[in-house]
Amino acid sequence: MIASRPQPEIPTPADSSPSDRPDAPAPQPTGTSRWAAARPVLTVLTSETKGWPAAFDRLRDEAELRVVEAQDLGDALPGTDVLLMWDFFSEALADVFDRADRLGWIHAASAGVDTLMFPALRNSQVTLTNARGTFDRPIAEFVLSFVLLLAKDMPRSWDDQRARVWQHRETEDVAGTTAMIVGVGAIGRETARLLRAVGMRVVGAGSRARDGDPDFDTIVDSAELARHVGDVDWLVNIAPLTRATENLLDAEVFAALPNHARVVNVGRGASLDTSALIAALESGSIAGAGLDVVDTEPLPEDHPLWSAPNLVLTPHMSGDTHGWMQRLADGFLANWDRYLAGETLQNRIDLTTGYSAEGPKTAARPTTAEGRA
């Protein structure tokens, strides 16, 4: 438990057992959870840097609540029915997943679920959901800001301002240019709509090629990206990190782009070959880039990206507008209510692909102590 968090005391393995609570059932036989209770057991994985939204206070009345940090997750998992990954970048679950004997639902408070795509979970019957929809508009706006900032040469204007230089120059039009968005899910579609609103032509790149899409002029197969970027002015990566998208934007893709093209990455850092991007920027084979994500975060002080030419860096903040943590909490609670009612959960992830699932599946509250992981 995080002592600094302003909330009533929450039982932890070290300081309580079911018999400590007035409404607790009789002690369970050896080998079952010490936290066994009639209410569903909800474990929240958090960290010292994460806040505790006031909206979560109701969970103390609706669940057997365990709030833990990464080092205590293994002790909290036995008997857990639902796991909320509030510390959504944590990789702790993979090492202790074998201790999840009742786990039926994991919710990631993020759009990406790449840290959860380890083999044991992928091969399980656990329902995985994410925060789909929370970041669509903020990230789309952030992509547009990168496009405008680079097209209007704002970094040079800031440099001139600091140097007290008044130098008139021409900048570029955005309308009439072509953007290719890699990743045609909810965030990609919102981005496509926003870019089209300023007069850009937008094509998509996804897991399969297809025409007739309402948001994209056409969608090409992302596995053949280099074949399709020859007339692209803005290559925007929004794809989640999967085995298929790791290093998807590589030297071959950068070489195939026209030399006036820019690359924008708001997806995952590992989807882009950083060394290849730096080489393309330094050689002038592409005109610039905007990166909100990098393959090592935080970016080390001695990393060559800091000094790469024509590059704008932001610290993984594209989706984080005012109130975003509250929206994440609201999204989980809406699914929590569905869970308690035995209704179909929203924003399910297909464990075989790491993408949004197409078909609904109900993850109702379990009625027995049988393992579900």
Q: Does some domain include residue 237?
A: yes
Q: Does some domain include residue 201?
A: yes
Predicted local confidence at residue 358, as pLDDT: 42
Judge if 170 and 102 occupy the same domain: no
- Token pair 């995952």 is found at 268
Q: Is pLDDT above 60 for 362?
A: no
pLDDT mean over 91-115: 96
Judge if 154 and 28 occupy the same domain: no
Q: Does some domain include residue 198?
A: yes
Judge if 185 and 302 occupy the same domain: yes
Q: Does some domain include residue 349?
A: no
The radius of gyration computed from the CA coordinates of the chain, to the nearest angstrom, equals: 23
pLDDT mean over 300-310: 98
Predicted local confidence at residue 38, as pLDDT: 78
How far is Cα of residue 39 from the mean position of the Cα atoms in its chain? 30
- The CATH number of residue 31's host domain is 3.40.50.720
pLDDT tens track for 264-281: 999 999 999 999 999 999
Judge if 23 and 48 occupy the same domain: yes
In the structure, what pLDDT confidence band is assigned to residue 194 with cuts at 50, 70 and 90? Answer: very high
Judge if 191 and 293 occupy the same domain: yes
Backbone torsions φ then ψ of 313, nearest 5 degrees: -115, 135
Predicted local confidence at residue 357, as pLDDT: 87
Q: Is pLDDT above 70 for 370?
A: no
Q: Does some domain include residue 353?
A: no
In the structure, what pLDDT confidence band is assigned to residue 372 with cuts at 50, 70 and 90? Answer: very low
Among 313, 333, 363, where does a domain finish? 313
Predicted local confidence at residue 302, as pLDDT: 98
Judge if 275 and 223 occupy the same domain: yes
Judge if 51 and 174 occupy the same domain: no
pLDDT tens track for 341-351: 999 999 999 99
Predicted local confidence at residue 355, as pLDDT: 87
Judge if 123 and 149 occupy the same domain: no
Q: Does some domain include residue 369?
A: no
Judge if 166 and 80 occupy the same domain: no
Number of domains in the chain: 2
Q: Does some domain include residue 61?
A: yes
Predicted local confidence at residue 366, as pLDDT: 43
pLDDT tens track for 137-164: 999 999 999 999 999 999 999 999 999 9
Judge if 197 and 309 occupy the same domain: yes
Statement: the pTM of the whole predicted model exceeds 0.75: yes
Q: Find the domain containing 91 and state its range.
A: 18-134+322-341
Predicted local confidence at residue 149, as pLDDT: 98
Judge if 262 and 236 occupy the same domain: yes
Judge if 92 and 229 occupy the same domain: no
Q: Virtual CA dihedral for 306, 307, 308, 313, nearest 10 degrees? A: 30
Bridge partners, 348 (sequence order): 129
pLDDT tens track for 4-43: 333 333 333 333 333 333 333 333 333 334 344 479 999 9
Q: Does some domain include residue 280?
A: yes
Predicted local confidence at residue 260, as pLDDT: 98
More confident residue, 358 or 228: 228
Bridge partners, 63 (sequence order): none
